[in-house]
Structure 1
Amino acid sequence: MPDFRCSVASVEDAEPIIGTAPTDPEILLVECPGPWGREAVTDNRLPEVVRDHLAGLDLKVFLLRRYDGSAGPGTHVFHASATADGYDVRRAVLDRPEDLVGLDLGPGSATLTPYDDPLWLVCTNGKRDRCCAEIGRPIAGLLSEEWPDGTWETTHLGGHRFSGTLLALPSGLTLGRLDTATALAACEAVARGEVPLDHVRGRAGRSGVEQAHELHVLAGGDPADELVAVPGPPRRQSCGDDKLKGTMRYEVRALA
């Protein structure tokens, strides 16, 4: 199926997006302009010593670049740790990428300082999945007009089939099935502290069940309801991989 698009198939099958946001409690975002390979953290233009360092970290690493290809001055780095409300985000602008090696990521770091402005991280790694590039890049271009400092293209967020998808910080809200007609309004809602339920996959940094429960309540569900993960049908989840993989959906547990 040379014209297969995983995002189109997911919509046609009415696959639920709830509870599919990244679950990582700690993430590191590193500016890395230029092309990225399929395994972006190890296939990029950063110095070899930096690539090796990032690959060995025990946390999730995303690479960042500007939509217009610009870079610097310096190398932007963001470190985010999950909280009850989203993420605590801290930033540094390093003189050179090699300064990442040995960078103190702890809460008392003298290099990293609090960063409270919005960040819109749009998944665009076409080497990983063409839906991300085809749908994500125009969204990144649109958002960069409104938030030139806060908009970045990023490597694989997970869930190519929910393209266009982005991670919003500091809220942690992960949006999916965006396009250029809906992305700006959805992000403006997030910036106002709202949750655009039509496009929210979940709040990153939490388990899938926790993400689904929050959205269940926001949609009018009873906070006392218990949600459980239920296996969904196996499906092809990527344009670049024809293997069938398991899926998951979340349902209210029925009373005995």
Structure 2
Amino acid sequence: MTPDAVAAPPEPFRCAAASEARSEPLTATASTVGRFVLLEDPGPWGPAVLRNRRLAPDVRGRLRAWERELGVRPLLIRRPGRGEPGPRRVFVVNAAHGWVETTRVADPAELLDWDLAGVRTPDGVGLPRWDEPLLLVCTHGRHDACCAERGRPLAAALAHRWPAQVWESSHLGGDRFAANLLCLPDAHAYGRLTPESGPVVVAEHLAGRLSLEHHRGRTTVPWVAQAAEAAVRRQLAERRLDAVTSRVLRRDPGGAEVAVVAAGHTHRVRVDVASAPPAQLTCSASLPQPAPVHTARLRDGGAVTPA
């Protein structure tokens, strides 16, 4: 190297690229949550929703109480590429019961007067029902760089085709699987989408069919059930959204026994849980951590299926 030569700066670490490089499976990685409050906020967003100083302290306190007492996940949302002036849209979602309700608020402080006790029921909280799917793309760059770098191009591509249904979202979970998409209220999560693959996956989803290659799981069931459902779907080539249900029969230190109902038959599935070698799981992680690895085996003659 000559004295005047300057070494190029190293490429920054990106958790999504590292996850792809080690061939980390997508299956059984969807966040396990079934109730949501989505609050429109044009941003910019801080690293964590409940510490976002754009929201008043009492509003953050109310969201924190709903999360703690009712199991509600607060998310901030915005339209891709722009902030819309005027009242803010708020959605309340129960994915397990398959409903979405919505209204607009002139000020987020209006949420302080809301009673969300009905969020746990099939009847809702009394807001007008919303009958269109919600397509949430994580673009929360202050939480993880991969979410912004991969999520924003995906959100723009999807919004070009489905402008009324697509929203950018704060942290959905699984930054290393960006770009991430959550479809509500049916609670199916997808990962590693691109501006090219995303519209294909969404078109299939809206037609009632999963894209198994990108499917992370249903957020309304635990990881062992997500793994079991995926194993049965692959064994049967079953892609219909509502064609598979599951129930955890028994847990033990090594995993779980899960009953999966599909095609009129109940499949008993053994799911073993192990740990992958420690890795840096987010762009900002300070220490490597082991991620869980699920392996599902159909008891009724199916092949072993890595999940």
Structure 2 distance, partners of 1:168, 1:17, is 16
Structure 1's 82 and 46: CA in aligned 2 closer, same or farther, altered over 3 A?
A: same
Checking the alignment, whether the CA contact within 8 Å between 1:28 and 1:61 is kept in structure 2 is: yes
Checking the alignment, whether the CA contact within 8 Å between 1:34 and 1:69 is kept in structure 2 is: no
| RMSD between superposed Cα atoms in Å | 1.9
Q: CA-to-partner distance for each residue in 1:120-152, whole Å, 9 max, x for gaps?
A: 110111111100000000111111111112111
Structure 1 distance, partners of 2:53, 2:165, is 22
Structure 2 distance, partners of 1:211, 1:108, is 26
Structure 2: segments with no counterpart, 5+ residues: 1-9, 237-265, 300-307
Q: How much has 1:168 moved relative to structure 2?
A: 0.6
Counterpart in the other structure of 2:109: 98
Checking the alignment, whether the CA contact within 8 Å between 2:154 and 2:179 is kept in structure 1 is: yes
Q: How much has 1:2 moved relative to structure 2?
A: 5.4
Q: How much has 1:90 moved relative to structure 2?
A: 1.7
Structure 1 distance, partners of 2:124, 2:15, is 43
Which amino acid is 1:89 matched to?
V
Q: How much has 1:219 moved relative to structure 2?
A: 0.7
Structure 2 distance, partners of 1:237, 1:198, is 21
Checking the alignment, whether the CA contact within 8 Å between 1:50 and 1:100 is kept in structure 2 is: yes
Greater relative contact order (CA < 8 Å, ≥ 6 in sequence): 1
Moved segments of 4+, more than 3 Å: none
Counterpart in the other structure of 1:237: 281
Q: How much has 1:62 moved relative to structure 2?
A: 0.8
Counterpart in the other structure of 1:69: 82
Structure 1: segments with no counterpart, 5+ residues: none
Counterpart in the other structure of 2:148: 133
Structure 2 distance, partners of 1:252, 1:142, is 35
TM-score (norm 2): 0.77
TM-score (norm 1): 0.91
For residue 225 of structure 1, the aligned residue among 247, 252, 269 is 269
Structure 2 distance, partners of 1:201, 1:156, is 16
Q: Could you say which structure has the larger radius of gyration?
A: 2
Q: What's the secondary structure of 2:290's corresponding residue?
A: strand
Structure 2 distance, partners of 1:49, 1:69, is 27
Structure 2 distance, partners of 1:46, 1:71, is 17
* Most deviating of 198-207 and 34-43: 34-43
Q: What's the secondary structure of 2:110's corresponding residue?
A: helix
Same amino acid, percent of matched pairs: 34
Q: CA-to-partner distance for each residue in 1:96-132, whole Å, 9 max, x for gaps?
A: 211111312213533x222221111101111111000
Q: What's the secondary structure of 1:190's corresponding residue?
A: helix
Which amino acid is 2:96 matched to?
T
Which amino acid is 1:109 matched to?
V
For residue 125 of structure 2, the aligned residue among 86, 101, 109 is 109
Structure 2 distance, partners of 1:135, 1:95, is 32
Count of residues in correspondence between the two structures: 252
